[in-house]
Chain A
Amino acid sequence: MARPRRRLGRESLTAFLFVLPSLIGFITFFAVPAVRGLWISFTNWDLLRPAQFIGLGNYARLLQDGEFWNALTVTIYYVLLNIPLQTVLAMVIAVMMHRLTDSVVIKGLLILPWLMPPVVVGLIWLWILDPNLGILNVALKSLGLPAVAFLGLPQWAMPSIAMINIWQYVGYTALLIFAGLQSIPPSVYEAASIDGASESQMFWKVTVPLLRPVLVFVLVTSVIGSFQIFDTIAITTKGGPVNATKVLNWYIYEQAFSRFNMGYATTISIVLFLILIVVSLIQMRLLRAGESDL
């Protein structure tokens, strides 16, 4: 290394000082809480009275808890509704922008929903989707179609929530992909077109592979985010109707803060953590993250 020789001890000390603030934050608000959460998950704590150690009692309960399995299914259903549609749509929008315009105004308008707090977005759509007075149903009715209780019917509620979140995040995702598109040198396309590649061949053989790093980023972050959906549901359906939108995060919140089962709530959140690790690892493996095809 070309660096001038300095005593390692001194460098270590400096480094330690650099890391210290973040280390304090990490230990206090990430490491200790995580370990503490693990401990709470072995108790029957209700927050108000002293906790009792019950070993794996909560974990045993979890296995037999129909509500938990429902929440898990509902969460996975949401992720499956949300991610493919959002990613494909974002891809289409990005390609469209790439072809049409680099206008800051248009890009800006498209990410406007992403800037909004999910609380605000939830409220907006709650109002628009109202089965009796909401503008979307008024429009459907004026077209001679029947009104749909988007958030009131079990079969519609989750697709509607997914739609709301796609509305909020698709512009943002599209912009990420758009940036990826712009970074692909035009010479690559020129070369491909000289070789006689068709439009669709160019897309699949050139664009998609070169976009891999961006797509990995988009997919990994949005899948982890989707598994933790909370705000939109808290504002719109609160887990209903018939538990159709009772995702894991909402179930945890409900157990912890309205049913006084803090120990059990923590147990579910630990399980969610394990699920996320597994999902992320699988994704990384499948997408061969970090490798670039260039």
Chain B
Amino acid sequence: MAPNVTGAYRPKQQFPWGKILAWMAMALLLFVTLFPFWWVLRTALTAPRAVFQNTGSLLPVQTTLINFQRVLGLVDPQTAIAMGGSGQAINFARALINSIIVSGLVVVGQTTFCAMAAYAFARLRFPFRNGLFTLYISALMVPAIVTTIPNFILVRQLGWLNTFAGIVAPTFLMTPFAVFFLRQFFLGVNREVEEAAYIDGASVWLVFWRVVVPITVPALTTLAIVTLINTWNSYLWPLIVGSDESVRVLTVALGIFRSQTPQGAPDWTGLMAGTTLAIIPTFLIFVLLGRRILDSIQFTGFK
């Protein structure tokens, strides 16, 4: 041991103050992380008018489920307004289904097509390979807002506004990040298995699907999960191309619910009920895929 003065006198069985302090910091961290979620639920369960009273109460005030009923449109607007709400409702089931459709399409499409492209960039020889890849990479730096506006115009010209096609189009076939990420991964995969298959006379196609994909499942899952979360959470693009109720996703539905009568107060209890509903699916995904998500995040750090 180094001649550390305090260390030298510290007997091994001494009370582990450092650890306790660290655990307390961890507890505080968890509290700060989780408290806002409780506050959402607490507000959602509070009666609309009681929200201005007992603002410091940690428990719901005049506990009620009415906000959820209002948000889901189970109460007619007139009654909802009379109760102090906004009279607005979210077609929650519709928005949830829309979110699932949009995210599902993007995850499947993007993962498949980007894996194919990434494999070609990593393994196959073809003209302009490096040039094309450089172009892809340079697109990584184009801010979303640059392409958002022209893409909006394009989607309009295609007649795809307020369709699922319009919402998924820009990310369905590729994102530069996905190609880049998977190519890096494929580069790191041992070639020997592939070579053996090629020697057996297998086609590139067969090798890709039967050999490469199975051994790169972790990378593909990681990409799928990151894509899922990004797509599920996206707001601006679906807002401008798909605000129609038939294709409106959850985030957009919530954003629309937020806006109120001019100069009226936000309908906090209703909003928090809507927020709770919007959190639930993400939370379920999290509970089901928790460990996978964690692995994926840790994985992205090491491309």
Contacts and interface: CB of A to CB of B under 8 A. Distances in A.
Interface of A: 2-4, 8, 11-12, 14-16, 18-19, 21-26, 28-34, 36-37, 40, 93, 96-97, 99-101, 104, 106-120, 123-128, 133-135, 138-139, 142, 167, 171-172, 175-180, 182-183, 196-198, 213-214, 217-218, 224, 227-228, 230-231, 234-235, 249, 252-253, 256-257, 262, 265-266, 269-270, 272-273, 276-277, 280
Given A25-B113, A109-B34, A266 B149 contact: yes
Interface residues of B, number: 98
Contacts of A40: 149-150
Contacts of B80: none
Interface string B19-33: 100110110011011
Give chain B's interface secondary structure class.
helix
Interface string B104-125: 0000000001101101110011
Given A14-B120, A228-B145, A235-B255, 19 more contacts: A11-B125, A14-B203, A14-B205, A22-B174, A25-B174, A26-B136, A26-B139, A31-B135, A32-B150, A33-B149, A36-B150, A100-B26, A117-B278, A120-B278, A124-B36, A133-B268, A135-B39, A217-B300, A228-B143
B52 A21 contact: no
A118 B233 contact: yes
B292 to A, nearest CB: 11
Contacts of A120: 251, 254, 275, 278-279
A-B complex: 9 closest residue pairs judged by Cβ atoms? A25-B173, A179-B298, A33-B150, A22-B117, A22-B174, A15-B124, A15-B126, A117-B233, A18-B120
A24 B236 CA distance: 23
Interface string B275-289: 100110011011000
Contacts of B298: 175-176, 178-179, 182
B130 to A, nearest CB: 13
Contact of A127 (B136, B142, B272, B283): B272
B303 interface: yes
A269 B22 contact: no
B264 interface: no
A158 to B, nearest CB: 19
Contacts of A25: 113, 170, 172-174
